[in-house]
Structures are given as structure tokens and as C-alpha cells.
Structure 1
Amino acid sequence: MMTSKYSGLTQLGHATQQPQTPEDAILEAVPNTQDVDYVVRFVAPEFTSLCPLTGQPDFAHLVIDYIPGPSLVESKSLKLFLTSFRNHGAFHEDCTVGIARRLVATIQPKWLRIGGYWYPRGGIPIDVFYQTGPAPAGVWVPDQAVPSYRGRG
């Protein structure tokens, strides 16, 4: 059997159990074979976690943009990582920034930003934004285009 650059993946193409916690989740990377800078965007419009004090569910629309360095995040592993928060108790800020930091540690992007657009808790929507620094010059980075929460108005 031939070895490929993808042979180390343990989740894609395999039956995979849902990790119970973000710490248990395995984020996997694949080589970035492009020699130009470009933006990759992942959108998770139904992200959920739990309030660490009440255990009530919290909901967010996440937008993750990054300019790859040597690696790309493998999307099935990202999906499993994000869904591992469903039983995880953490405040909005911890979830949003923690996701970004884990991605940075795994794939070492040239640039990354995340927008966590959280639905209201206690009547107050909380939006959390993080980025690693300014985007490299010459790369088109589209607006995240998620409107502020307006309720029923």
C-alpha cells in the first residue's frame, strides 16, 4: 500500500465517536499545498455549549477565518472538535478564544480570526472577537457579514 500525505489522519474516512469534551477532541492537520496566501472560512451557525454555572445551553454563530501556513485544519476533525462543546461548561469568551488558540496551536496559520456571535443570555447578546494580528497585506479578507442581534425588531 502506498503512503500518502493523508495517511496519518485518524478520523476522516473512519467511523469516529463524538468526543465528550474539547480536551478529548483531536484536531488534525493536512499539508497546505498552495504557494500563495488565501483565506479559508468555516461557519458554524449552530454552535452550542453550556453555561458553566447553570448548565443551560448557549448558542452561537461562529465564523472562523484563517490564512494557512504550512497546514490546513482537516474539516471533519474541526466539526468533531466544535460539537464537543455541546456538553462543555464555559463562558462565551472562554469558548471563542479557546477555539482560536487551539486552532493556532494545531495548524500554525499565518493569520486567524474568529467571530463568536452569541445569542442573548439574560437578555444581553455577547459577541466575542479574537485575531492573531493584522492580516497579511495583499490578501482579500471578506467581512464576516453577521449582523448584530436585533431580536424581534
Structure 2
Amino acid sequence: MSDYSQTNLSQLGHAAAAPDNPEDAVLEAVPNPQAGTDFLARFTVPEFTSVCPVTGQPDFAHLVIDIVPDALLIESKSLKLYLTSFRNHGAFHEDCTVAIAQKIIAAAHPKWLRIGGYWFPRGGIPIDVFYQYGDAPQGVWIPDQGVSPYRGRG
């Protein structure tokens, strides 16, 4: 088992308040104890929130983040705090989705990343945003993200 006590984590194992905005959020990474083995890690965020930058009205999304890590893993508490920092942040759906992917890439340098932002309708139009970084390594099982297309009242 790896010793994570020397990784200088500022949030895990400590009281940590949610940052006021994504720019101030610290996304931390830890050494991957399975570095050299390709696998997929999935973070599912069914209740992501941000606000419209024009109206200030709340926006809601179901995010699915798939990562094939390299030497580092995203530390999940810091990811939760980072995602919470969007709660009062004004940005369009596309900006939020791609910014999250880019922050993860900068923090952990994964081999591959895919994010699906399945946004609930605003003005009657659902907006789904997809971003991918890198090519999926051969032999890694990458399941469907499993989020049904928006069907309204059916």
C-alpha cells in the first residue's frame, strides 16, 4: 500500500471549505499505485450546478468524467470541492464542461479523458457537451456513459 501521508494534500484529512469560485479551487492529485496498468476511473456527478452568466438563474447537469490515469490520480475530495465551486459561478454549459476537463488534465496529466455534460433544459433546449483528451489506450474497457437522451415528459 502506498504512503499518501507525504503527498502534501491540503484538503484530504483536513477541514476544507468549498472555494468561492473555480479559479480559487485547488484540484489535487496523488500517486497512482497502479501506474503502468491501464484502467478507467469514472466520476459520476448527477447533481452538478452552476448559474447562467447572463440571468443568474441556476443550471443543472449530470456529469460523467472518464479518466485513464497515468502516474497520478485525481484526489476525490478535492474534485468534489472543485465541482462545488461552480455552484455560484456564472458560465455557459460549454465553458463549465470544458473547463472541468482542462483543470483535471492540468492536475493529473491523464493518458485519456472524456467528459459528458448532460445539461437539463434551459429555455426548453437541453444542451449536451462532450470533450475528449487523447486517444483511448488499446484494451481498456470504456463503457457507455449510460445517460439517456433528454425525452421531456415522454
TM-score, length-scaled by structure 2: 0.95
Deviation at 1:54, TM superposition (A): 0.2
Contact 2:42 2:64 (C-alpha < 8 Å) held by counterparts: yes
Matches of residues 25-104 of structure 1 in structure 2 within 5 Å?
Answer: 25-34=25-34, 35-104=36-105
Quick check: which one's strand share is greater? 2
After alignment, is 91-100 or 28-37 more displaced? 28-37
User: Is residue 6 of structure 1 aligned with residue 8 of structure 2?
Assistant: no
SS in 1 for 2:101: helix
Partner of 1:113: 114
Partner of 1:148: 149
Q: Give the aligned residue type for 1:18.
A: A
Runs of 4 or more consecutive aligned structure 1 residues displaced over 4 Å after TM superposition: none
CA distance in 2, matches of 1:27, 1:104: 10
TM-score, length-scaled by structure 1: 0.96
CA distance in 2, matches of 1:61, 1:91: 15
Structure 2 residue runs of 5 or longer lacking an equivalent are none
Contact 1:113 1:130 (C-alpha < 8 Å) held by counterparts: yes
Structure 1 residue runs of 5 or longer lacking an equivalent are none
Superimposed CA distance per residue, residues 26-85 of structure 1 (whole angstroms, 9 cap, x where no aligned partner)? 100000011310000000000000000000000000000000011000000000000100
Contact 2:111 2:134 (C-alpha < 8 Å) held by counterparts: no
CA distance in 1, matches of 2:4, 2:74: 14
- Number of residues of Structure 1 aligned to a counterpart in Structure 2: 150
Q: Give the aligned residue type for 1:14.
A: H
Cα root mean square deviation, aligned: 0.8
Partner of 1:128: 129
Partner of 2:22: 22
SS in 2 for 1:23: helix
CA distance in 2, matches of 1:25, 1:33: 25
